[in-house]
Chain A
């Protein structure tokens, strides 16, 4: 709690005519946090990010970056920001080196420090071998990395990434995730995605946005703690019935697969294993599962998908 607050948004609202894209979103980002912004298509993730980075004026509400209001002192506030929009804002006709040097100059990195800053960004994003190639000739994955390098070249305390892994192959996705995790040690990151495992893998806090509102917000640790509510097990020689203390309900899924619901407040795993060894049930696998992020996401965002209209 005593960690420094880097982004503070209060009551962010944006209307497009009668349609409300974002309604009353409050958002706080502390130093060292990775906040995952999750939501179905059209939930308002990108709109929120545009407002946080000062690219879109909110209809109402305020954004403070590092304690500076972005509406009244945009230049000062934007110094602490690195933003990668959905489309990487690259210039296809210049080389990676030229482009990053330009971006560094744009963000006010002094001429003497510029080369070192560009080198560091290239190092972080694995761009050294393509540094003399034209951006337009690079693959989508490399262009995405250039976009990422662009966001971190001036070492901002806050990095905002809008769907950073779109269009990347699985290996690149893993590299980008590792990079984001590495960045989070010195920076705070806001990440949007609709890929759940991605959020689960890298974020320390998750926020689900649906139809312009925040419908769920919790730390990843709390989400994972909720998961330990059911037990899934596979047995080679499953008995007719399981007489293990602490198990309230047993459900067979066939082929030796079972799902156990423990009695509230108990953890029957140990008893189950002991019993299995004693009776020779041949326990092959035992894991906890339950309300995963995916289930939370689906339960919150499924249902009516009618357009959000302003009550006139």
Chain B
């Protein structure tokens, strides 16, 4: 169990020391901001549609986080699927398989 936690901690550090993770985070933030902005614009242009929702938060929040769930569904595998493959390729997987 403790070995698992140390691997997780170490992998998190390895992800965030490279600029890639930060770039991806920035891109996600940008896309989410854009989607927020578009939802806001749609609400202003078409206030009538608000009647179907229980409020502004439901309309904007629901739309935004529904969209972000789909987005993360794509992004998370993109970030993590290389971990095993890269470890195997660089030979550092043996480090984990040799340790208890």
Contacts and interface: CB of A to CB of B under 8 A. Distances in A.
A78 B13 CA distance: 26
Q: Interface extent on B, as a size class?
A: 20 to 34
Given A106-B6, A106-B7, A79 B100 contact: yes
Contacts, number: 61
Interface residues of A, number: 27
Nearest to B96: A106
B17 interface: yes
Given A102-B10, A105-B3, A106-B3, A91 B100 contact: no
A93 B98 contact: no
B18 interface: yes
A105 B6 contact: yes
Contacts of B7: 106
Contacts of B96: 106
Given A75-B100, A106-B7, A107-B100, A89 B94 contact: yes
A85 B100 contact: no
A86 to B, nearest CB: 7
B23 interface: no
A94 to B, nearest CB: 6
Given A94-B13, A102-B10, A78 B91 contact: no
A102 B14 CA distance: 11
A252 B35 CA distance: 92
B10 A83 contact: no
Pick the most buried of B91, B92, B95: most chain A CB atoms within 10 A of its CB. Answer: B95
Interface in B1-47: 2-3, 6-7, 10, 13-14, 17-18
10 contacts: A55-B97, A75-B100, A78-B98, A79-B100, A83-B94, A94-B13, A94-B17, A105-B2, A106-B3, A108-B3
4 A-B pairs with least C-beta separation? A87-B91, A89-B95, A89-B92, A105-B6
